[in-house]
Chain A
Amino acid sequence: MVMKRDVVITGLGVVSPIGCDPMELVSHLSTGRSGIRLCEPKWLQKKFPGGVVPRSFAGEFTKLELPFLDRCQQMAIVASRQAIADAGLGDFSDYKQRAGLFYGTVRGGAETEQSGYEQILIEHKNARPFTVMAMMHNAGAAQISIRHKILGPVMTHSTACASSGTAIGEALRAVRDGYLDVAVAGGAEAPLTPGVFWVFDATRALAVPDGLDVGRSCRPFATDRAGLVLGEGAAFVVIESAEHAKRRGVSCYASLSGYGVASDAYHIAAPQSQGETTAMRLALDDAGLTPADIGYLNAHATATRGGDAIEAKAIHLAFGEAAQALPVSSTKSLHGHLLGATSALELVITVVAMTESFLPATAHLDNIDPECGLNHVANTPVFDRQIEHAMSFSSGFGGTNVALVISKHREMPAKRPSNPVLSS
């Protein structure tokens, strides 16, 4: 049997409703601080909860750059830059075609497209020359590759909520199979636009704002869960082979040890347990692990009535008896559903959970739905918990399911987010 090349995570970058760097992420997760706020999209006469990144990124770019950059790409550039700098890298041109970028998004430049329709239909204006470049789904990937001179594969994945997960998984395979020395992988999404709220609202899957506290609107696994909450943000990892990292003299957060991908081939919107289970099992096999080895599972669980129950069943099928003891949480309770960026954000969360030895909680889980019986980390994180191996799972509309496994690295010095803020 051929030994699989060890691939490690050497850089993290994040722009999210619960923090714009890994340290802020740890702080929000450990104190249960929600990033979900009230959104009042134009045109709709209706308010929605949304995972909001409460800042503009326009100031990071010149007026020459801005016309090309939807908020989606702005966040992609900022988060990837953070990850790349964290890995001690910057310009990849010396790698030639052995550096790659794998990116996931569902809507790309949604705000630009929204403005575009307003310009056609209401203002009767012509499009600007930049409009198509700011809208196109691969713009985020292209902008990152241009800025960092990534000359190998620059790939955009659009697998609904699994987009950045499949991007990261395929990046892992490219490095592990020897095609690439280093890859930047992740995703970005800026969906808090009237058009996106409008279409998701029509599926009756969106939560209404919680009457007492909008920050509590996303309640995965809860008896009173009321639907999903859209969120915006971007997250990236830098991965490379362990030998390559050692040659560079850098440490790693963890090994990216497993990837499983499986499709339901069932329904355009409804998930099915079997495809989810298969993705999780394949990821375990890929990592050479058994279910009992996993010390934490970051679930997809978007707080829809049907989806959470189907996923709970899938976890039981994948993990068997080990599901009784497997700690599970859905951090969407604090950040919402970042669509194409959600897998990447949740993988970064899983990484910092491992480095900081804590189990993030599913917030607002006062009453667990019996249909979703699992070993929930409910409401309060569990601190001082060593995690050797962890899994992050995502399941997309249309049926693509992806599971990623990370493992503590036994030899390389362990990297941690600098100056983490932990309260226990």
Chain B
Amino acid sequence: MDDADILNKIRASLVERFGLEPSQLAADAHLRDLGADSMHILEIMLDLETELGVSLSDLALPPNPTLGEVAAVISRNLAAPA
């Protein structure tokens, strides 16, 4: 699963769970500008854990990350050796 796939999954969750507008969800969109916060992203990450059957051990995000930065963190976790 590449970063683009992960970004698309994040986008789909933000639309479906939190009612955000798809047009707002560019890779460089900052969470805070979207009205979302770390709790919303944590929720999506936990859903992804369940869906992908993985454990995301390192969920440290930069302050007010972009969607691209969130996808990169998840990607890093998936790539990490078991």
Contact residues of A with B, CB < 8 Å?
A: 62-64, 67-68, 126, 128-130, 133
- Looking at chain A's contact residues, the main secondary structure is loop
In contact, A63 and B17 (Cβ under 8 angstroms): yes
A130 touches B18 (CB 8 A): no
- A126 contact set on B, CB distance < 8 A: 46
Interface residues of B (CB under 8 A from A): 17-20, 35-36, 39-40, 42-43, 46
- Establish whether residues A62 and B35, one from each chain, have CB atoms under 8 Å apart when the complex forms: yes
Do residues B43 and A128 form an inter-chain contact, with CB atoms below 8 A? Answer: yes
Chain B residue at minimal CB-CB distance from A133: B39
Contact yes or no, A129 B46, CB < 8 A: yes
User: In the assembled complex, which residues on chain A have CB atoms less than 8 Å from the CB atom of B42?
Assistant: 129
Query: Cα distance A129–B42 when bound, in Å?
Result: 7
Please tell me if the beta carbons of B43 and A63 are within 8 angstroms of each other in the complex: no
**CB contact between A63 and one of B19, B39, B46 (< 8 Å): that residue:** B19
A residues less than 8 Å from B39 (CB atoms)? 67-68, 129-130, 133
Shortest Cβ distance from A300 into chain B, in angstroms?
39
A-B pairs with beta carbons under 8 Å apart, 26 shown = A62-B18, A62-B19, A62-B35, A63-B17, A63-B18, A63-B19, A64-B18, A64-B19, A64-B20, A64-B35, A64-B36, A64-B40, A67-B39, A67-B40, A67-B43, A68-B39, A126-B46, A128-B43, A128-B46, A129-B39, A129-B42, A129-B43, A129-B46, A130-B39, A130-B43, A133-B39
A68 to B18, CA, bound (A): 12
- Please report the C-alpha to C-alpha distance between residue A64 and residue B18 in the assembled complex, in whole angstroms: 5
Q: Which residue of A lies closest to B36 (CB)?
A: A64
User: Once the chains are docked, how many angstroms separate the CA of A133 from the CA of B38?
Assistant: 13
Q: Which residues of A contact B40 (CB under 8 A)?
A: 64, 67
**B19, B39, B43: most-surrounded residue (chain A CB, <10 A):** B39
User: What is the distance, in angstroms, from A69's C-beta to the closest C-beta of chain B?
Assistant: 12
B27 CB to closest chain A CB (Å) equals 20
Minimum CB distance partner of B16 in chain A = A63
Point out the residues of chain B lying under 8 angstroms from A133, CB to CB. 39
**In the A-B complex, the 8 residue pairs with the closest CB atoms:** A63-B19, A129-B42, A63-B18, A129-B39, A64-B18, A64-B35, A129-B43, A130-B39
